[in-house]
Amino acid sequence: MFKGILNKKKEQDSECLELKEKISQMNLSEMRLYVNDNLKSYAISECGLKEIMNRLISKNESSKRFIESDAMDSKIKKAFDLFMLIGESKKMTSATTKLMEEFIKLYSDLILKFDKENKQIYESKLKKCLITAIENVTKMASYKNKSDLLER
């Protein structure tokens, strides 16, 4: 019984490591394709969404963020749109929502600057997206608990 569970866990871990490696080489457009489930080689997964959010909030060796204030507006907009796509995904987990919160905190200065310079409302859009994502995760957890209870 446990052998089957452990083997499945190992398979998931190896898939996750492979996906993590692939995502580390993706640009924002490829990440968007992945989240839209348009990459033929990889299906969208909870692990993939988490890795993309990790990549967006990570800093490099020189403590620079993935997106800096001197980045082109198109790159910043793509990152914000990618954030909102992840928030709408059905593969969302609570770990991913925590990373989304970190994203908003980390990039709060950039969000305000972008909104001011480009007359946008990404600050409210991103926060609303995060709230929706948290509500969806809560609903999914509630449904899972109910189905587990019914299976007993």
Which domain, by its residues, includes 56?
2-151
Rounded mean pLDDT of 95-123? 94
Looking at residue 1, its pLDDT comes to 40
Q: What is the number of domains present in the chain?
A: 1
End-to-end CA distance of the chain: give it in Å, rounded. 18
Looking at residue 151, its pLDDT comes to 82
Average pLDDT, the chain: 88
Q: Which of 1-5, 31-35, 83-87, 97-101 is predicted least confidently?
A: 1-5
| DSSP-derived secondary structure letter, 71 | S
Looking at residue 82, its pLDDT comes to 96
**Distance separating alpha carbons of residues 147 and 150, to the nearest angstrom:** 5
Tokens, residue 87: 């928030």
Rounded mean pLDDT of 2-22? 67
Q: What is the pLDDT of residues 116-129, one digit of tens each?
A: 999 989 999 999 99
